[in-house]
Chain A
Amino acid sequence: MPIEAHSRAPLFQAVASETPSRRSVTLSFNGEALNVPPGISVAAALLMSGVERFRATPVSESPRAPYCMMGVCFECLVNIDGVPNRQSCLVEVVDGMQVRSQEGARDLQFDVPLVQVLEVQP
């Protein structure tokens, strides 16, 4: 059951002096299709598409969205094409990309020995 993406009007939009791009990229957020300009980050694309809540925290499940847009805060973590914990401010949009909000799970690991439990590649 897709979670409603367009709960409100977008927080950000292109400024008036921007020439609209002739090309657009289609991606999905929680199953809902979004058309966005090419060459921008996933975080920017979601903010310009009315996505207000990117994830919920593992501790209290409170809503979070991008704070720094430069890879420092990790608030913009989403699941992209099945891979969790992607920093959406550092990933460029690609046609057909499937993005999902990340709900609560504390599954980002920095501690290398712990990671094998989470990810075993064939």
Chain B
Amino acid sequence: MTLESVDVVVVGAGPAGMAGATDLAGLGLNVVLLDEQGSPGGQIYRGITLAPLSRRDLLGPDYAHGNVLAKALADTSVRHIKEAAVWQVSRDHQVSYLHGGRMHTLQARAVLLATGAMERPFPIRGWTLPGVMTAGAAQILLKSAGAAPVEPVVLAGCGPLLYLLGWQYLRAGVPIKALVDTTHRDDYWRARRHLVSALRAWPYLRKGLQLMRSLRQARIAHFTGASALAIEGTDAAEALTFTANGKAERVSTRCVLLHQGVVPNIQFSQSLRATHAWDTQQLCFSPLRDSWGELDVPGMFVAGDGGGIGGAQAAALQGRLAALGIAARLGVLGAPQRDQRGVDLRQELNDNLRIRPFLDVLYRPRDEHRIPTDEVIVCRCEEVTAGQLREFVAMGCAGPNQAKSFGRCGMGPCQGRLCGLTVTEVIAEARAAAPGDVGYYRIRPPIKPITLGELAGD
């Protein structure tokens, strides 16, 4: 194992990581950027430097913008280590990763975690069947392989990413069998009080309205206010069933793409024992940070969706603010200069975030699709159902960590990444407690699977 000293390690090469690393290097710091992918971009700009022009055009101008960040990064002294699986970040700023089958550890003076978001779990009956994927997964296939479903596909759920994928599929000539939207008339009514604020983020709103208009004009079967979503099938998906306008519906398809928003990926901040709080608006846990993104673990910073969902532009701005905060912490920049340079960035960030309350309320995932009925699998790895979880609670299980010993819930290969939020909410409901009081899985390294052979090195 090799131990090397650097100023800053940035984990994740999405918008926050690319922008943060670029600015840190610009401030004269020695920066290593570690990322799991073979090229920069994160998930939102996945494959941006490799995608042929035709694909970039198909995906739209927001995707193409990722190349600006990637180009700026390439022009710096940042050492970007690709295909690096970071499996441990310690409170004293050591970062361990696996690269090319070898173990490496960096000793940093500060760490910027820019690990982004993941899809919110969509636990419904049949969601483990082959042919059921997230809209994000389908978008990754489009960005990285130029691939889309062969047969007419069903898009189900709610949120900007779902409509964006629909728009991209229309442009690509991919047949869409139905858009099953869970957004209800009442959701629009509830969201209206955030509309004034959202109007101040007009470019976002306009883009959203354009997406929805093109989907309507394409005359795709569009169900709204859909509830009780479930997938039928034995060895693979055969149909999506749901209720819309009081009527039971069934749409047959081999491919169902689910989406009900994204949530922060908090594996690293949790493993650092940083304080996290339940976000009642975004219905997820996020780490507590100061205005520069620093956690209550000194020298550990978070930028981008890993600290709360704000989108790609907000993520890049947060990355730049964190770079200023880190530079001040390392004595490269005085506090007054940091504050002065941060003014415009902060203003732009606040403008960017004005759309969020509107989106969070309008596309709030339905309770029934977050806290499922008894027969639905919650922990996909160990096949633990919501009913079993409720039995554990009846036997005295108070939180997610105890659910592990009650029935291996969250102990499979994904380490509770995918079921964590569902487990918290199911237990909270069963106990009539607040999700924040129920808490989250205790996350321990290794964050990525490693073998003893790899750990031993050589």
Residues of chain A having any CB pair with chain B under 8 Å: 8-19, 37, 39-41, 44, 47-48, 52-54, 57, 59-60, 62-75, 77, 85, 89-90, 92, 108-110, 112, 115-116, 118-121
Contact = CB atoms under 8 A, between A and B. Distances in A.
Contacts of A16: 172-173
Contacts of A57: 381, 383
* Size class of the contact patch on chain B: 35 or more
A52 B452 contact: no
A40 to B, nearest CB: 4
Nearest to A113: B452
Nearest to B235: A63
B453 A44 contact: no
A59 to B, nearest CB: 4
B145 A14 contact: yes
A30 to B, nearest CB: 15
Contacts of B174: 15
A31 to B, nearest CB: 20
16 contacts: A11-B131, A12-B148, A44-B141, A44-B145, A68-B136, A69-B133, A69-B134, A69-B137, A70-B43, A70-B140, A72-B118, A72-B265, A74-B412, A108-B413, A110-B413, A119-B453
A15 B173 contact: yes
A18 B255 contact: no
A98 B52 CA distance: 28
Contacts, number: 163
B3 interface: no
Contacts of B37: 90
Given A12-B148, A64-B128, A73-B414, 16 more contacts: A9-B151, A11-B149, A16-B172, A17-B55, A39-B50, A41-B145, A64-B130, A65-B130, A68-B119, A68-B137, A73-B380, A75-B128, A110-B446, A115-B450, A118-B451, A121-B452
Contacts of B128: 62, 64, 67, 75
Contacts of B195: none
A9 B58 CA distance: 25
A88 to B, nearest CB: 13
A15 to B, nearest CB: 4
A38 B254 CA distance: 26
A36 to B, nearest CB: 9
B239 to A, nearest CB: 15
Interface string B153-176: 000000000000000000011100
A15 B142 contact: yes
Contacts of B36: 71, 90
Interface in B112-153: 118-119, 128-134, 136-138, 140-142, 144-151
A69 B417 contact: no
Interface centre among B37, B136, B147 (most CB of A within 10 A): B147
A65 B233 CA distance: 14
B255 A11 contact: yes
B150 to A, nearest CB: 5
Contacts of B381: 57, 74
B395 interface: no
Nearest to A92: B38
A114 to B, nearest CB: 9
B60 interface: no
A66 B137 contact: yes
A77 B136 CA distance: 19
B449 interface: yes
